[in-house]
Structure formats: structure tokens, C-alpha cells
Chain A
Amino acid sequence: MVKVGEFWNYLKNRDYRFFSGVPCSLLANILEYAFKDQEIRYVPAVRENAALGIASGAYLAGRKSGILIQNSGLGNIVNALTSFNLIYKIPVLMFITWRGYLGKDAPEHLIMGEKMVDLLNILKIPNVVLSEKFTKDIAQAIEWMEIDRIPAAVIIQKGVIG
């Protein structure tokens, strides 16, 4: 299991200290840490597209930025991605949880759980599932963003970060 402090330390070392997002139960410990750590600026958003908007505005002002959202919220950011970030070339590091993984979850999560990776691929959003080798995975996402200047997704499964 990846320790939540190590997860955040790596992001801070890579200069990712500005985040926005909408909570998910799979993000609870990650967000709890972010709220307590004075070096991390986390702006609570009311909807996922607003989180992406805030992170994008931060990038325009010269700050590296990310969002933390549930995969249900991927549906809420599709237009922001297609008519803003992807065409304006605005990279944002997107941590997206994987509710509905392998069909084992509440009914409202099953379709997005099955389709999330396909949806990211259709939109040509590079994506990686966070593993025990989390620094390698996040470094890969950051590299994609630096090359193409578009958002990249790091998918977070239940129990990977504790």
C-alpha cells in the first residue's frame, strides 16, 4: 500500500501543490492529508468542471496544478476537456477514482466503472492506473503532460493509498 504522506511528498517535490476537486470516499485519506498540510493548497469545488476550471486558471498563471475527483465526475468534465483543455493545450494532472471496478459496487457506479478507461481513451487523454510503483506512474503522467501539454489521468483504485 502506498503511504499517503509519500504520495503527497512526491507531488510536492514535483511542484504540484495546487489542487481542486470534489470528494470521493476513495479520496478521503488523501484529502484529509491535503487539508492539514500547509504546503498544499486545496480548493474545494462544487462540481468537477469547476475544479478543472480552477486548476486550468492556475496553470495559466504559471502554477502546476491538479484535480482530485470521482470517476462519476468524469462525465461532468467532458465538455471542459474537449472545448477547453484539449484545444487550448492546458495540462492538468487529474486523479480520478475507480468506483465500479470489475462490476463490484453500487448500481450507480457500474456503467462508468466499466466505461471510464474507454472514455479517457476515446478523448485521447493519456491515463495510467496507480500501482505500488506510484512515483513511476505519476512521473509517466507528468511526462505525457509535458510532451503534449494536455491533461493526463492517474486512476486510483480502492485501497491503493492508505
Chain B
Amino acid sequence: MKRIEVIKKIIKHLSDEDIAIFTTGMISREAFSIKDRRANFYMIGSMGLVSSVGLGMALNTLRKVVIFDGDGSALMDLGTLGMIGTEVPSNLIHIVLDNESYQSTGGQPTISKMIDLSSVAKAVGYKWTIKMTKKAELSKLPIFLKKGGPGFMLIKVERKGIEEIPRILHNPERLTERIREVLIS
């Protein structure tokens, strides 16, 4: 499965109200190139931090917060999974788009081939977890996106992303202002 196609399918099932927060690197850039929703928040740096920022949001809003994480990023701050499991925010869904590599830095392998992150999420207290490895399984996306959380989706995607994808055009300060406008309204 191509990662950009998976992101596109997930976004299609979100309402305008739902917050989507994207990890650093190609995942943010692919999401930006699909459709720049006002309720999208792209984290251009600080690898690993997306899950804790998403948790902090989810604990302070009634809206649904969907975290788009990478395997490298999730592994970097694996401890945060335990915090999500213990804080149990019912409005949080954590998605890991797993290409088993640090593709943004040249395709070096991560250790996610040997570690089933959905089992980790289950062990640390997520209410539900699902692992998807085939395209046909994506038809179950709308069912899971409607479920109460915290939920965890591990979706195996192709190693390579899209070539020559544009960078995020907004400056970081503007991204902060925009998501606050959405969340405070």
C-alpha cells in the first residue's frame, strides 16, 4: 500500500471538526499535498513528539484527535504510548504508518520489522488495536475511526513515498495560530 493513498483514505473519513496531527518528515508533507485542512497540524521537526502533543490536545478538547505517526517516530518516544494507555482519552486515535524505515533520511531500516507496535499498544492499555497489511483491509477504516479510544492502528505501507513532494508552505507560527483558532472556537 502506498502511504499517501492510506492517508488520503483516512482523511476522507474524518469530519471537518476532527483534528489531525502529523509527525515530522514525509508524513506531514504527503498530508499537506493531499488537502490542507484547517484542522491539520503538521509537526515539521521534533521527531517522536507528535504522540505527546496529540495526547495533550485530546485531554483538553472534546473533538476527536487523530495522530498520524511513523514507525521511527513512534519508536523514538515509545514511553508516550504507555501514557496514552493510562490517561485513556476516549477521543484519541493513534495511527502508525509503518514502512519499516527512516525513509526521509535515506531509507535506513528501523527495528519495527521485528517489533509489532500494535501488540505494544495493546499491552500498554489502548482500548483497541488493529493491524492492517493489505489494501482490502482498509475498507474497515470507517468502522474503526468511529470507535471510542484510545485506539491504535498499525498500517504497513510501502517503503518508498512519493518523489518530489512539496514542503509545508505555512511557517510554524502560523500553524500554531491556525490550530488554536480551530480548537478555541
Contacts and interface: CB of A to CB of B under 8 A. Distances in A.
Nearest to A56: B53
A44 B79 CA distance: 12
A54 B59 contact: yes
A72 interface: no
Contacts of B56: 20, 43, 53-61, 65
A45 interface: yes
A58 B60 contact: yes
A148 to B, nearest CB: 11
Nearest to B45: A83
Interface in A27-66: 41, 43-47, 49-63, 65
A60 B183 CA distance: 7
Given A43-B83, A47-B79, A53 B53 contact: yes
Contact of B57 (A57, A87, A89): A57
A90 B174 CA distance: 11
B57 A61 contact: yes
Contact of B59 (A46, A58, A83, A84): A58
A110 interface: no
Nearest to B60: A61
Interface residues of A, number: 32
A73 to B, nearest CB: 13
Given A54-B59, A57-B53, A84 B46 contact: yes
A88 interface: yes
A84 B83 contact: no
Contacts of A50: 49, 52, 77, 79-80, 83
B125 interface: no
A159 B183 CA distance: 40
A46 B83 CA distance: 7
Contacts of B51: 53
A80 interface: yes
Contact of A46 (B41, B82, B172, B180): B82
A79 interface: yes
A87 B59 CA distance: 23
A98 interface: no
Contact of A80 (B46, B58, B172, B175): B46
Contacts of B52: 45, 49-54, 57
Given A50-B52, A88-B175, A62 B83 contact: no
Given A54-B59, A62-B184, A84-B43, A49 B49 contact: yes
B61 interface: yes
Interface of B: 41, 43-46, 48-49, 51-61, 77, 79-80, 82-83, 87, 172-173, 175-176, 179-180, 183-184
Given A43-B87, A57-B56, 9 more contacts: A43-B55, A50-B49, A50-B79, A54-B56, A57-B52, A59-B56, A61-B56, A87-B172, A89-B172
7 contacts: A46-B79, A47-B77, A54-B53, A54-B59, A57-B59, A58-B57, A58-B59
